[in-house]
Amino acid sequence: MKQPVDLNLEPGAESRLKYGHLWFQQSTRFKCPKASVMIHLWSDIVSKTKETMALHTLMVYGLNQSLSTITYEAGEADLVQDVAFRDNGLRICVSGFSEKLFCFYSTILDHILDQTQDLSKEYFESYRDAVLQIYYNEALKPNVLNTHLQFYLLRKEAYLITDLLSALKNLSVADVAAYKQQFLSTLHITIYAYGNITRQDAISFFDYTVEKIRPIPRSTRKLIDTSILDPGTYYLRVMNCNPNDVNMCLARIHLLGESDIKQQCYNKLLAFILSEPAFDYLRTKETLGYTVYLRYWRSSPGGTLHSGISLVAYSPANKYSIDYVAGRLTAFWRRIAPRIIAAMPSETFKTSVESLISVHQLEDPNMMTEFERNWDEIMESTANFNYREECVKILSTITQESLLNFFLTEYLDVKKQRSLFVQVDAIANPELTKTTVSNSYCLDFDTIDTNWETLRNEYTSINSIDITNALMTCGYDEKQAMDFMMKSYSNSNGNTIDSSLLLEHGENEANEQKAMVFINNLFKFRSTIQYQTGRNV
């Protein structure tokens, strides 16, 4: 079978369909006597409150600790299991030789459901401390804190690490047991059986799951509610939670919003072309830090179909100010990147398109790659297993002019563009006598006020850049860029490029400033956000 099929949509499967979906794909392409089965137990209780989110984390951590013991021998027999936390449920994955896979899964599920295996008070204290330490340690990393804040602003059902820490401290053994029972009481089940496995085997996995859990059925699952932001650039600056760390993390998140496959292809090509020049200029030439990258992203499984491009830099505060780094990132995105696209020789652009097409035409190198790719499609509700083939068709139609026009209108037009600029600052010369080891797991989470003075400092950094030399560093010529834009602007095919979006300095700054939003009170700002309700699928 080239593609998965949903067995619960077949005639006579109505009794299964009310519980969820069973995707099946028998594949012997890799000539391997193995199979993989992914089971997702969806529940809307997980992210309902910070307490339920903390309870879910603790429950999954405890399950993994106990499962590591009972599945050790199976691991020696090349059977692999993974029970993973998801903010919308529990994901169980089993892989290995087909003959023993169902027995392996039934052992894992029985253990998860066995109430006699619930946490004792001694284990509970140990596990809770371990989860507290994990949360605390992650919050001390500026890049993790940055990503965490992005999710907090872009998703309705997200919580700050400080909220989860406080919730964890107040939990008890009885709370975990009660939560586990409540979580399993009402579920939407999604299963994907893949590999050297029969149709009846796949049905057995689904039937056994329903029979053992006996949940109240949910015929649909709800995707994540996402923020609706007005056009503009949203500034959030916080201090690194680790007082001994001099590292900053800045991320410009450029939001295209809900996007179709055509927009996603334009995004992919933009990132494919710009990622290397971004590294060459910001990392090699400007030496902003040890990690600099530009990449395309598409919403994670379980989310609505949003996409965009992120530009991220980790920089040391004892070398550069945060305003300086912010200005360099902004300058690359707004002034250098569009000129790179315009300055590309036609053959170079054609080669880039062909290279990206070749990437999409590559065969999956192994079973797990195909398995995980199809699983992502299933969880994003699109189930478009021809996604790569459709991307190839669209990519082959993209011209240099249309790509530049897309970039300018979607990402540089202040009346339309939406971006989130999350900055984690640090102390340039920290007092190393301070300790980050804490038994109380209390974080100092401080928002730094940003204002027009902040923006002026950033523009000082932007305006000090020699655009011509910057383009030369990336291997491009500014004159060629301007010639291309003028030629495209004066053509007669109606697909003109608005070069006014590349205005220099003062006039462009004035336009951009009108669309600035400074988030100096994180909680107050978040309380005003409107959300796009996630679809039921």
How many Å separate Cα 163 from the centre of its chain?
A: 21
Would you say residue 435 has pLDDT above 80? no
Report pLDDT digits (tens) over 185-225.
Answer: 999 999 999 999 999 999 999 999 999 999 999 989 998 89
Beta strands in 457-518 (DSSP E): 516-518
3-state secondary structure of 447: strand
What separation in angstroms does the CA of 220 have from each of 18, 306, 457? 8, 21, 50
Would you say residue 291 has pLDDT above 50? yes
The H or E element containing residue 298 is strand 291-298
User: What pLDDT is recorded for position 28?
Assistant: 78
Residues 6+ apart with CB under 8 A from 146: 249, 250, 251, 312, 422, 423, 424
Would you say residue 381 has pLDDT above 50? yes
Would you say residue 262 has pLDDT above 90? yes
- 442 falls in which pLDDT band (50, 70, 90)? confident
The mean pLDDT value of the chain amounts to 92
- Give the tokens for residue 406: 């897309």
Report pLDDT digits (tens) over 118-135.
Answer: 677 888 999 999 999 999
Share of the chain above pLDDT 90, in %: 80
For residues 398 and 28, what is the distance between their CA atoms, to the nearest angstrom? 36
By mean pLDDT, which of 265-279, 377-391, 456-470 is the weakest?
A: 377-391
- Give the tokens for residue 421: 């600029």
User: What pLDDT is recorded for position 490?
Assistant: 63
For residues 83 and 60, what is the distance between their CA atoms, to the nearest angstrom? 7
Would you say residue 248 has pLDDT above 60? yes
User: What pLDDT is recorded for position 117?
Assistant: 66
- 438 falls in which pLDDT band (50, 70, 90)? low
Q: Kindly state the average pLDDT of the residues 507-534.
A: 86
Report pLDDT digits (tens) over 327-375.
Answer: 999 999 999 999 999 999 999 999 999 999 999 999 999 999 999 999 9
| Residue 304 backbone phi and psi in degrees, to 5 | -75, 165
Would you say residue 397 has pLDDT above 50? yes
Would you say residue 386 has pLDDT above 60? yes
- 79 falls in which pLDDT band (50, 70, 90)? very high
User: What pLDDT is recorded for position 500?
Assistant: 53
Spell out the domains of the chain, with CATH numbers in brackets. Answer: 5-217 (3.30.830.10), 226-532 (3.30.830.10)
User: What pLDDT is recorded for position 352?
Assistant: 98
Would you say residue 34 has pLDDT above 90? yes
User: What pLDDT is recorded for position 485?
Assistant: 86
User: What pLDDT is recorded for position 303?
Assistant: 64
- Give the tokens for residue 440: 């109380």
User: What pLDDT is recorded for position 492?
Assistant: 43
Would you say residue 502 has pLDDT above 60? no
User: What pLDDT is recorded for position 294?
Assistant: 98
Q: Among 98, 62, 93, 108, which Cα is nearest to 77's?
A: 98
